[in-house]
Amino acid sequence: MLKKKGVLIITILAAVLIFVTVVAESTYDTLYSYLKMSSDVAYRIKSRYVDEIDSKTLIDSGIRGMLDILDPFSEYLEAKDYDLLQEMTSGKYSGLGMSIMQKEGVIIIVAPMEGTPAYRMGLRAGDKILKINGKSTTGMSTSEASSLMRGPAGTTVTLTIGRESVEEPLEYTIERAVIEIKTVPFYGAFEKNGQKLGYVRLARFGEEANAELDAAFTDLLKQNVKGIIFDLRANGGGLLDQAVKVSNYFLAKGSEVTSTKGRTMDQDRTLFANNDPLIPPDLPVVVLVNEMSASASEIVAGAVQDWDRAVIIGNTTFGKGLVQQVYPLGQDAALKLTTAKWYVPSGRCIQKDIRSTRHPESLIDSTLADSMTFDTTSAKGRSNKSKEVYHTKGGRIVYGGGGVVPDVVVEDARLNALELNLERLSMFFDFAVKYANENPKTPEDFEVTPQLIDQFRQYLKDKKFSYKSELELDLEKLEKTIIEQKKEAEYAKALADIRAQIEIDKEQQFNQSLDYISRSIKRDILTNLYGEKAVYRQIMLKKDPYIDKAVEILTSPKEYSAILEGGARR
C-alpha cells in the first residue's frame, strides 16, 4: 500500500509540474513531452526497480540532474542548505556564538565570539567539547556538533569541556541567544607616515552591511582621517542591494552602480546611487581585493574603479558576474537559479569562463550567500590580451571577463611546505592555547622574542611534528624507481647523502620562515587572549603587505592622482 502511495505521489507531482509549466502554450510542447517521459521514468523506477527507492531521493536526484547542465552557482537547496543561506544572508542564528573545528576526532573551540553566551560563560579557544547534553562528541562532525548546540533562544544546552591544565572535565549549562554575525568585524583609525588613516574590513554583504558600515565610516570621519582603506579581501559577496548601497558611500548621487541583463524583461534593470555619498569626494580611498573577492565585492570594486573614485590594490578578483535568484520550493527547500549577468558602469561584465566547473574540486564556503570555486591565479598571471577593452570615466583602460584587475598589484606570498603543514596540523593554534593558559597576563602589545621561538621549537619536538618537503616527495619517487629497477645497493650512499642534506635544508627552512612563524604565533596568542580585533590592531595594521601599499599610496597625493589619471598598472 505504501509503495502504491509513493508511486501516486510522484505521478501527482509530475502532473502538477507539467500543468504549471506548459499552461497550454504550444511553445512548450517539446518540454511537455520530455516532462511526460520523466514522469514515466520516475513511475517505472518507483514501481519496478529491484530495490525500493525513497520518493524524495528520486525527485531530488532528478532535480540535481537538471541543474547539472547549468552553471555551478545554480543550486537545489535542501532544508539545511536553505536554512544556512538564510542565516548567512541575515547574519543571525540562535546558539552559543563560537567557531569550532574537528581535530583527531575531537571537537575543539577555535574562538568564542565577543559578547555571546559562549564568551560570557568563559569558554576558551582550545577547549575540547567532550559531550553535548551528555552525548559524546568523539568522531562527531562539526556540522552535527553545531546542530546540537543550536536551538531556540532562551533554551539551554549543557557542554562537558576538557581544558588544558585542568584535570577534571568542566560542565557548563549555557542559555542560547540570538547571535549576530558582524559584517564589519573590525574598523579603526591608525597613524602611519605621519597621517591618520581609516581602515574598514567588510566580511560579507549581508542584510546589516549598510547599517554597520554607516556606523564605521561616520566614526572614522569624526576622527578626521585623511584617507580610507576599504578591505574586501576574501569577501565572497552576498546581497545585490547591499552592494549598491555600499557603492553609494563613495559614488555621487545618480551615478550608475551596476546593470543586470537576463532572458526576461524583469531581469533587465540599471541600479544607481540614490543618495549623496557619506565619504567626501576629495577624501582618498583605496579598496583591497584578492582572488577570493567575488560577486558583490566585484560590483563595488568595479563601480568605484570605473568612476575613478578609488585605487584598487591587490590581486585579480574571482570573476563572478552572475545574479542568482532564490525561489522557495515549499517550506523546506529552494532553487537558487542564475537569472542574469551584471555589468559595471563601463559596460564590462567581469564573469570568467566557468565551463566545465559544475563539479569543482574545491569549494569555498565563506559564510556568505554565495558558494563558489576560486581560481588562485595571480593578477600578473592572467593575460589581458584576449579580453575586451573598456574605459573608465577618465579614460583609463579596464578589461571585461575574468575578474576586476587591480590598479596596483600586490602578490600573495606562497606558503612553503613547512608553513603549510604547521597550519594544517594546527601547531600554531595548539601552542597558543598552551602558552595562553600558562601566561594569561601577556600584554596585547607583546613581541615574539627569540626565547618564544625556542619554546615553539621545543613544542614541535615534544609533539613529534614532522613533514615532508618538496624535495623529500621527489626523493620518494626516485627511490621507488630505483627499487623497481633493483638498484638499491648502487645508490644507497647517494640516497643517504641526499636525505642528510634534506634534513639540513629543513632546518634552514625554519630559519627562512621565521617572519611567517613569528607572525602566526602572535596571531594565535592574540586571538586566544584578546580576540580577533587584537589581530587587526597589532598585526594587520602594522605589518600587512596590502595595507602597507595602501598607506604608501594614500600618503602620496601625487602617486594617488597619477594612478587615477591614467597611470599604467604596476
Domain boundaries in the chain? 2-69, 92-180, 186-412, 417-467+513-546
The dihedral built from the CA positions of residue 353, 357, 360 and 363, taken in this order, carries a sign that is positive
Q: Is 561 a catalytic residue?
A: no
Say which residue the cell 584617507 belongs to.
Answer: 227
Is 352 among the residues known to form the active site? no
Question: What letters, b where the CB count within 10 A reaches 16 and e where it falls short, cover 517-547?
Answer: bbbbbbbbbbbbbbbbbbbbbbebbeebebb
Q: pLDDT tens per residue, the chain (570 residues)? A: 444 444 444 544 454 444 444 444 555 678 888 888 888 999 999 999 999 999 888 988 988 999 999 988 899 988 878 887 888 778 788 999 998 999 888 999 988 888 889 988 889 888 999 999 999 999 998 889 998 999 999 999 999 999 987 889 999 999 999 988 889 999 999 999 999 999 999 999 999 999 999 999 999 999 999 999 999 999 999 899 999 999 999 999 999 999 999 999 989 999 999 999 999 999 999 999 999 999 999 999 999 999 999 999 999 999 999 999 999 987 788 999 999 999 999 999 989 876 544 443 333 333 233 322 223 333 444 555 557 899 999 999 998 888 999 999 998 888 899 999 999 899 999 999 999 999 999 999 999 999 999 999 999 999 999 988 888 888 888 888 888 888 888 888 888 888 888 888 888 899 999 999 999 999 999 999 999 999 999 999 999 999 999 999 999 999 999 999 975 444
Phi, then psi, of 258 in degrees rounded to 5: -160, 160
CB atoms within 10 A of CB 146: 18
Given 247, 295, 297, 366, the catalytic residue: 295
Residues near 42 by Cβ (< 8 Å), separated by ≥ 6? 10, 14, 58, 59, 62
Q: Which residue has the cell 579596464?
A: 398
- The half-sphere exposure of 60 on its side-chain side, counting CA atoms within 13 A, is 12
Residues β-bridged to residue 173: 158
Instruction: Report the C-alpha gap between 75 and 224 in whole angstroms.
Output: 46
Other Cβ atoms within 10 Å of 317 Cβ, number: 31
- Name residue, grid cell 591618520: 196
Determine which one of 127, 231, 306, 370 is catalytic.
306
Q: Rounded to whole angstroms, what are the CA distances from 482 to 80, 98, 489, 491, 499?
A: 52, 51, 9, 8, 15
User: Is domain 92-180 annotated with CATH 2.30.42.10?
Assistant: yes
3-state secondary structure of 188: strand
- Burial of residue 114 (number of CB atoms within 10 Å: 0-12, 13-18, 19+): middle
Q: How far apart are CA 413 and CA 126, in angstroms?
A: 28
The one-character DSSP state at 367 is S
Q: What are the φ and ψ backbone dihedral angles of 98, each rounded to 5 degrees?
A: -155, 155
At 98, which helix (H) or strand (E)?
Answer: strand 98-103
| Secondary structure of residue 489 in the 3-state scheme | helix
378 given a catalytic annotation: no
CA distance 204 to 369: 8
For residue 203 the three cell numbers come to 566580511
C-alpha closest to that of 544 among 207, 130, 192? 192
CA 326 vs CA 59, 169, 298, 369, 507: distances in Å? 19, 45, 20, 11, 53
- From the list 246, 247, 232, 228, the residue with the least C-alpha distance to 189 is 228
Give me Rg for the CA atoms of the chain.
27
- What is the DSSP code string of 127-171? -EEEEETTEE-TT--HHHHHHHH--STT-EEEEEEE-TT-SSPEE
Exactly one of 320, 336, 352, 549 is catalytic; name it.
Answer: 320
Per-residue confidence (pLDDT) for residue 166, from 0 to 100: 83
At position 127, the amino acid (one-letter code) is: D
Distance CA 404, CA 491 (A): 52
354: how many CB neighbours lie within 10 A of its CB? 18
> CATH top-level class for 186-412?
alpha beta
Query: What is the Cα–Cα distance from 214 to 544, expressed in whole angstroms?
Result: 25
